[in-house]
Structure 1
Amino acid sequence: MCTVDKALQDDCISLVQRCDDEGAFMIRVGTLDTVVTIRLRRTWGSRTAYRQSHAIKTPRQPSPNWSCAPEAESPGDALRKAICGLTMHYRQAVGEGYPPAEDWLVPAN
């Protein structure tokens, strides 16, 4: 099980602000300036759901990456899942030589 602090240690993000009481975490991905907000909330049982303000869509992806199952066993696991969904695609695109661009982050409707 991942803790919230451990989830925030991803070297591809920078933490802008966190409000643990509200389950809100504001991050930047890689070198992008856009702030992504991830909100956590408890669901029935002991699971934690998350909602992101933005998804990522790099030139190598056919569509933005929105999780089809935005929940996990714990708050830390949910936050890690949200962060990894963003950073995995960012790292792959940059690794393939694409220059990071702000329009990679697509706002939620």
Structure 2
Amino acid sequence: MEIEEIFKDEIINEAKVLVSEYKFSLDGISKTITIKIYKNIRTGYYEFYQSHFIHTPLQAGPYITSRPWNDTEDLALNQAISGFTQFYNAAIKNGYKPDDSWLVENKDFK
């Protein structure tokens, strides 16, 4: 029996399986970022959830992607991490020094 078959009943919603979990930090920031990637059993997409959002002095607010999923695990992970590195690198290039305050806790992260 295929996994998808087990979850075929219409009363089951949001069926997904944890595929991987990654932890890392950014240079000059002591907080640890966690990225969890789940595979949605119905859609096949890889959805990512992150423990923090980046909010550098150059940004009006924390960066929260409007599309937290991708076609493959590696594309989802790259998308999640590049959200941090792009804003981090832009702030450094503009003369800012990294600070723990750049990472805003995601209150919905579990």
Q: One fold, TM greater than 0.5?
A: yes
Aligned residue type for 2:35: I
CA contact (8 A) 1:38 1:82 kept: yes
Aligned CA-pair RMSD: 1.2
Alignment-derived partner of residue 82 in structure 1:
80
Which whole-Å deviations, capped at 9, do the CAs of 1:37-76 have from their partners, x for residues lacking one?
Answer: 0000001222100000000000000000011110000110
Residue number among 23, 27, 39 corresponding to 1:26 in the alignment: 23
Amino acid at match of 1:29: L
How far, CA to CA, are the matches of 2:83 and 2:74 in structure 1?
14
Q: Bigger radius of gyration, 1 or 2?
A: 2
Looking at structure 2, the residues matched to 31 and 59 of structure 1 have their Cα atoms a distance apart, in angstroms, of: 15
Unaligned runs of 5+ in 1: 1-20
Runs of at least 5 residues in structure 2 that lack an aligned partner in the other structure: 1-17
Identity %: 28
Counterpart contact for 1:30–1:90, Cα < 8 Å:
no
Which consecutive aligned stretches of 4+ in structure 1 deviate over 3 angstroms post-superposition?
none
Partners of 2:67 and 2:85 lie apart in 1 by 17
TM-score by length of 2: 0.77
How many angstroms does 1:22 deviate by? 5.0
Corresponding residue for residue 57 of structure 1: 55
Secondary structure of the structure 2 residue equivalent to 1:59: coil
C-alpha distance in 1 between matches for 2:90 and 2:26: 13
Matched with 2:71 is 73
Number of equivalent positions: 89
Higher RCO structure, 1 or 2 (CA under 8 Å, sep 6+): 1
